[in-house]
Amino acid sequence: MNARTCTKALALLFALFALTTHAQTTSTGSGQATSTGSEPALSSSKGQAYPSRPVRVLVPLAAGGGMDAVTRSLALSLADLLGQSVVVDNRPGAGSHVALEILASAAPDGHTLMMLSATTVIHPLLYSSRFDIVRDFVPVSQVTAQGYVLVAHPSLPVKSALDLVKYARANPGKLNYSSSGIGSPIHMTTELFQVATGTQMVHIPYKGMGAAYADLVGGRINFSFATIISSQVHINGGRLRALAVTPAKRTPALPDTPTLGEAGVPGVVVVNWYGLVAPNGTPKNITDRVAAETIKAVRLPEMTKRLVADGSEGVGTTPAEFSAHIRAEHAQWGRVIKQAGIRGE
């Protein structure tokens, strides 16, 4: 091959390379990666597609509880919807502060999230905390809502919630109740119950409802509000008597148990909840994406079935809606703490 022929061949190769590069750039939108899933790829603040690696969801409680079960169920659905693994990381301790510290120091890129409940909102109202959920973090989506059931030991001479109120009024300070700790939603629900009914009962706090159930079933504790999932086995076995549920409407998991309003005790409507938050500074397009996929996840038939069996229901909200919900919860429990004169210990 002579020099002239070689030069022409090289020129042709360079021209073909330039045309190919231009076509690829045009088809992918200035060279950005495209998603193979149902949703277009999002970019983080560094320009990387989201999610670009596994997503971690912190749980501020030990494995095996209600929040853990809901989070693991959600993680399975989100993994399919986001196209990345979603890992549950249990970090219990210090009223959620162990998990909050990790979240606060995580990169604000949507790859670290945290599941929380009303406990995380109530705790700073009773104890010194450097965190404010709405100020220091980004609410993403309320995932579920679940009520409590008022249960009593069968030896207590009451058959309804109104019977309990009458008995407590006739015997002030003689009945005791359990909770999973001072400032826990179960404790606060019972305090609201006492404020609304004008009753006085003795609080016996435990480090968790597992230990509380041993004394409740054994008759050493008179009554308690409890999660439906944890109390059903004792209700069905006749070891505890279900008196009423705390939501505004009956729950499918206990269809024959009236609401407190139906049972003659108005003014006490409590719905616990679980929701996702992200580090402060997480881009809005990422929190919107996670919220949208969460809404889809909680409406999937399999997840809906699991939630209903546990006495919960899927919610799924936008970040703005969840932010408003957290603020409302903060105000409600702040009023209860003031009215009941509760102090952290």
Provide long-range contacts, Cβ within 8 A and 24+ apart, for 229-236.
229/66, 229/69, 229/253, 229/310, 229/311, 229/312, 230/66, 231/149, 231/151, 232/311, 234/151, 235/149, 235/151
Please indicate whether residue 32 or residue 138 has the higher confidence score (pLDDT): 138
Cis peptide, bond prior to residue 255, ω within 30 of zero: no
Tell me which H or E stretch contains 195.
Answer: helix 185-197
Q: What is the mean pLDDT of residues 292-315?
A: 93
pLDDT at 210: 81
**pLDDT-above-70 percentage for the chain:** 86
Answer whether residue 58 shows pLDDT above 60.
yes
Q: What is the mean pLDDT of residues 105-111?
A: 97
pLDDT at 345: 67
**pLDDT-above-90 percentage for the chain:** 70
pLDDT at 230: 87
Mean residue pLDDT of the chain comes to: 87
pTM of the model: 0.80
User: Over the stretch 261-278, which tens digit does the pLDDT of each residue have?
Assistant: 999 999 999 999 999 999
User: Over the stretch 157-187, which tens digit does the pLDDT of each residue have?
Assistant: 999 999 999 999 999 999 999 998 888 899 9
Residue in 71, 118, 70 with CA at minimum distance from that of residue 270? 118
Answer whether residue 282 shows pLDDT above 90.
yes
